[in-house]
Chains A and B, each alone.
Chain A
């Protein structure tokens, strides 16, 4: 199984400041034949289902604000919120869909400082 780890476990950022979340996979999730990273990022607010933010590691889902961006390749990935807004307080998860089982990271909680 591919193990997903995230860092930090939690972070507090001032409104308008940058938040950076890291995700690491135990094996590469880059599929050589199409040069795509099988990595997604989700946002979950308390009491709500997860919401897809980013897929293929860096493609923003339709309707997601452009302050959210994804980067990285192979085994190391980053989700960046360029200017934190109050509504971004949530838990963020990465997930690999490269191989079964499609594992999630443990989550990173983002709060306002």
Chain B
């Protein structure tokens, strides 16, 4: 069974940093791109970032570019999102998702339950 389990969320002050992780199982991790999407309280979905299966290509939403860094460790089947210079508007549930292609241009076919990030003083 394909599973994604996020961790690392929490309460952080504005300007602070946080690192999210996503542990993947049940599929050949390196064969698929992976991504992050978020959902602010009571709002819709927002795509955040995607990384190709090899890790060689990364893509970001303008709202997080320069502040967030996506990475993956294919030896450990783990996806990460390093978030810095956090703002109140980054408050959301962050989902990791498997992308149905190696390059990144595909639907998000499996989603994790999500981890909550709250940016507040």
Contacts and interface: CB of A to CB of B under 8 A. Distances in A.
B27 interface: no
Interface string B22-53: 00000000000001010000001111001000
A103 B106 CA distance: 12
Interface residues of A, number: 26
A64 to B, nearest CB: 11
B95 A50 contact: yes
Interface stretch (B11-19, B70-78, B83-91, B109-117): B109-117
Contact of A49 (B46, B106, B112): B112
Given A55-B109, A103-B47, A49 B62 contact: no
A100 B70 CA distance: 15
Contacts of A50: 37, 45, 95, 108, 111
Interface residues of B, number: 23
Contacts of B110: 52
A49 to B, nearest CB: 4
Interface in A67-113: 91, 93, 95, 97-98, 100-107
B63 to A, nearest CB: 9
B44 A93 contact: yes
A1 B62 CA distance: 10
> Can you list the 8 inter-chain pairs with the closest CB atoms, starting with the nearest?
A40-B107, A49-B111, A55-B107, A102-B47, A104-B45, A107-B44, A52-B109, A101-B61
Interface of B: 35, 37, 44-47, 50, 59-62, 95, 100, 105-114
13 contacts: A44-B45, A49-B95, A49-B112, A52-B109, A55-B107, A55-B109, A56-B107, A101-B61, A102-B35, A104-B37, A104-B44, A104-B46, A107-B45
